[in-house]
Copies of this chain bind each other. A is one copy, B any other.
């Protein structure tokens, strides 16, 4: 388990904290639309509401957590900048959020990171340090940066301020819609978005059942929930590259104790769901974002006639490499 963030540092966000976070980041994040699609309603038999964080700044919900975590820093902390290790959406989000607050973001990336992701971080003026693609190299490189700069480490998900920021996504959804959903389904990787969603549901929509959706090929959370004990992921291979990470010391117990269920889906289902969304909704979502819709389509009996909110977590795709074009 990733223990690099200290869970005892802060308590979990309370109701008031989520309200404050929503206020705090409101001038910086986009209010993303909630879209519907007749074709997908017909296909699923459910009433689907898509919260489109693929339109969020930086192309993913991660910008909420990154912005909240940075705004939570003291002036002294902020002046020393922030740092993280990631080659994914959190790296882009932290770099952009730091740029927008006028502070430095140091990003540790593996030296085999895809060029499109490196360019995105560089485009937001992130200061990239490359390391070998191993856990040891990543952590030692990050530690060196922290020692040299005093930058605050913002973990991608095992950080209560990040989780508090992600909680604003479902909170915003509730402000935008009149009837509370029967279900919310989020993609599930490290568990930051799911944890935030669980907290918002607890305080503001307690009858809504919250489900995490995971690739079958990276089903560590599903396994953990069934076993009742944390089981880390072991170098999983899935097209949903944002969902390869294991849960953290903060997200695992929160999910274990609060989630309604975890559903797993095949790689083929993920690609099919992604294609449906591009073709019928005319929007670009990344494979990880398609996992909840894949879960609905694979388990349609469960959602018949239900009002189901789905969080489209992001839209950062290498458009030159699409899974349906070989």
Q: Say whether A279 faces chain B, with CB atoms less than 8 Å apart.
A: yes
Q: Which residues of A from 278 to 326 have beta carbons under 8 Å from B? A: 278-279, 281-285, 315, 319-320, 322, 324-325
Given A54-B282, A282-B283, A283-B284, A325 and B315 contact (CB-CB distance below 8 Å):
no
Which residue of chain B has its CB nearest to the CB of A55?
A: B282
Which residue of chain B has its CB nearest to the CB of A318?
A: B279
Q: Say whether A189 faces chain B, with CB atoms less than 8 Å apart.
A: no
Q: Say whether A150 faces chain B, with CB atoms less than 8 Å apart.
A: no
Residue from B55, B285, B322 in contact with A322 in the complex, judged by beta carbons closer than 8 Å? B322
Main secondary structure of the interface of A (DSSP, over half): loop
Q: Say whether A33 faces chain B, with CB atoms less than 8 Å apart.
A: yes
Given A282-B55, A283-B282, A283-B284, A319 and B315 contact (CB-CB distance below 8 Å):
no
In the complex the two chains form, what is the Cα distance from A54 to B278 in whole Å? 11
Shortest Cβ distance from residue A239 to the other chain B in the assembled complex, whole angstroms: 16
Q: Say whether A165 faces chain B, with CB atoms less than 8 Å apart.
A: no
Q: Which residues of A from 49 to 73 have beta carbons under 8 Å from B? A: 54-55, 59
Which residue of chain B has its CB nearest to the CB of A286?
A: B282
Shortest Cβ distance from residue A148 to the other chain B in the assembled complex, whole angstroms: 32
Which residue of chain B has its CB nearest to the CB of A39?
A: B123
Q: Say whether A275 faces chain B, with CB atoms less than 8 Å apart.
A: yes
Residue from B33, B282, B325 in contact with A59 in the complex, judged by beta carbons closer than 8 Å? B282
A residues at B contact (CB < 8 Å): 33, 54-55, 59, 275, 278-279, 281-285, 315, 319-320, 322, 324-325
Besides A278-B319, A283-B284, A322-B322, 20 more A-B contacts (Cβ < 8 Å) are A33-B33, A54-B282, A55-B281, A55-B282, A275-B319, A278-B284, A279-B284, A279-B319, A282-B283, A282-B284, A282-B285, A282-B315, A283-B283, A284-B284, A319-B322, A319-B324, A320-B324, A320-B325, A322-B325, A325-B325
24 A-B residue pairings within 8 Å (CB atoms): A33-B33, A54-B282, A55-B281, A55-B282, A59-B282, A275-B319, A278-B284, A278-B319, A279-B284, A279-B319, A282-B283, A282-B284, A282-B285, A282-B315, A283-B283, A283-B284, A284-B284, A319-B322, A319-B324, A320-B324, A320-B325, A322-B322, A322-B325, A325-B325
